[in-house]
Structure 1
Amino acid sequence: MSKAFVREGESDDAGDDLPERPVSPHPNFVTAAGLAAIDAELARLHAEAARLDPERDALVAARVARDLRYWTARRASAQVVDAPRPGGTVQFGSRVTIERADGRRQAFRIVGEDEADPSAGSISWVSPMGAALLRREEGDVVRVAGGEVEIVAVE
């Protein structure tokens, strides 16, 4: 059949336009829980790939293959960072409580890029807030995004 009579999106190359997931240029530091999450995602993707019919589910198969490439690369580059030592200095894996100028308090755990979920209270060590807090201590005032925050607790 001529390609002229095939609707866009129905070709054998359904996943060819799917962009690769960008891999961060930063070191891939992870917590032990972050490494376990990568392993779980790889297992889920392998199981999904095994269930797929690549002919019938070409776009889904392309997405799963792309995600497998990403997570395989992230697993290969993962560097597990030990839990932080107790003390007042912010480290990778620390839970940090800050107080904003308006009196609001927020607590974040500083984790790897793939683990970060600000809505769940975790931020990446390379995010503006995470980077500003690292190596600081309780009582320090840190300038972030045009405002100041005080570190009131480090766990």
Structure 2
Amino acid sequence: MNKAFTKEEDGSGPQRLPDLPISPHPNHVTPRGMAQLQARAEALEAEIARLRDNVDYLADGYPLAVAERDLRYVEARLASAILVAPPDGPVSHVSFGATVEVVDENGAAARYTIVGEDESDPGQHLIAAFSPLARALMEARVGDVVEWPKPTGTVDLEVTAIWFDASAELTGPRPPAQ
């Protein structure tokens, strides 16, 4: 029989799933992103310990294999993390970790925070630094109009405010709290 059609594992030990792919982009993280990765690693370690203590896991080792694979991924991301702290002084332009308020050509306002890949969540307006929107915003200053290339066409966005957190100095008028 062709080796491609045979099963490698004999079922005598726990499964080992293939590792998740690691992004080719630099692994820049905000302090919050680093804390999230560390918390995720701790949660996965606790889940692995719980699964190993459960004798029933031997019947179905898949949940353990998933948790171990995920922990390997998170540990690799932590090992390659490049922590980018917010600037100490006044904010003059958009950079990694910044929250940016913009207004589009129709007057609709939006806020986006430029974060690392593992922290990104477009639904929460947390955008990865290598995304088209983040690349359009990088280095912009309050009052600049940037072009955001979208599949439906280019959108002009005016930068109206830039900040890093509630205690950081704000360039432009402070937006109302959400």
1:5 aligns with none
Partners in 2 of 1:35 and 1:57 — Cα distance?
32
1:106 match:
110
**Counterpart in the other structure of 1:22:** 21
Identical aligned residues as a percent: 40
Give, in whole Å, the separation in 2 of the partners of 1:139 and 1:32: 28
Q: Distance in 1 between matches of 2:62 and 2:106?
A: 48
- Number of aligned pairs? 144
Q: 1:101 Cα shift?
A: 1.4
Deviation at 1:20, TM superposition (A): 3.2
Work out the CA distance in 2 between the residues paired with 1:66 and 1:126: 25
Q: Do the aligned residues in 2 keep the contact of 1:88 with 1:153 (CA within 8 Å)?
A: no
The answer as to whether partners of 1:32 and 1:81 remain within 8 angstroms in 2 is yes
- Superposed CA RMSD in Å reads 1.9
Q: What residue in structure 1 maps to residue 84 of structure 2?
A: 81
Q: Say which of 116, 120, 123 aligns to 1:119.
A: 123
2:117 partner SS: coil
- 1:149 matched to 2:157: yes
Letter in 1 for 2:67: V
Cα distance between partner residues in 1 of 2:14 and 2:102 = 48
Q: Gaps (5+ residues) in structure 1?
A: 1-10
TM-score by length of 2: 0.74
Segments of 5+ residues of structure 2 without an aligned counterpart are 1-9, 164-178
Per the alignment, residue 6 of structure 1 pairs with none
* Structure-2 residue corresponding to 1:52: 51
Instruction: Say which SS state the counterpart of residue 51 (structure 1) adopts.
Output: helix
| C-alpha distance in 2 between matches for 1:43 and 1:119 | 25
TM-superposed deviation, 1:113: 0.7
